Amino acid sequence: MLRLADEADLVHTATSQRSDKKAAQNRTTEAHRYRIETMMNALSIGGHAGGGSLDIAAVVGLSAVAGAVLCGLALLAYRQRGTRAYLLILLALTALFARPLIALLSEFAIVSAPTHHLLEHALDTLFVLLVLGAVYYARTVEKRLDEEGL
């Protein structure tokens, strides 16, 4: 009878040790999670505005202002030169300027997240195609027109 009681104590001790070990692992995991969240919060410079943070809104706002300035400069250059290459660059920079506008529409829940991502990737593609078109046109078509005297 003592033997059965001793075996029961051993099983209980082993089970307790496994439970203690599991609890220690959980505490370690929670501590790591807390450290990561603390580091991520330290990287964020702002509070929250609506659903997004102020630092993201600041970057998007700065991007919109820079895009508007670039579009204005491209428009002036196109009006001065009047070539198709300059028009393509103007359109490319307009596509670049549209990206933060899409982000703002998404921030205010006017555009869904999947639509936001689709539109941004489409604008990226359009930007690249327009820049490549401008370079190709300036290097080949305009050069050929100059050689022909047109």
- Residue 81's φ and ψ, nearest 5 degrees, are -90, -45
Its domain, for residue 72, covers 48-148
Number of domains observed in the structure of the chain: 2
Say whether both 30 and 54 belong to one domain.
no
Say whether both 15 and 84 belong to one domain.
no
* Strand partners of residue 48: 53
pLDDT by residue (tens digit) across 60-100?
A: 999 999 999 999 999 999 999 988 999 999 999 999 999 99
pLDDT at 47 over 80: no
Say whether both 127 and 66 belong to one domain.
yes
Amino acid at 96: L
Say whether both 143 and 126 belong to one domain.
yes
Q: What Rg value do the Cα atoms of the chain yield, rounded?
A: 30
pLDDT by residue (tens digit) across 105-146?
A: 888 889 898 999 999 999 999 999 999 999 998 888 877 777
Tokens describing residue 150: 């047109």
Residue 98: in which H helix or E strand, if any? helix 84-107
Say whether both 80 and 108 belong to one domain.
yes
Are 88 and 130 spatial neighbours (Cβ–Cβ below 8 Å)? yes
Say whether both 14 and 39 belong to one domain.
yes
Q: Give Cβ neighbours of residue 140 (< 8 Å, ≥ 6 apart).
A: none
Confidence of residue 148 (pLDDT cuts 50, 70, 90): confident
Confidence of residue 45 (pLDDT cuts 50, 70, 90): very low
The reported pTM is: 0.59
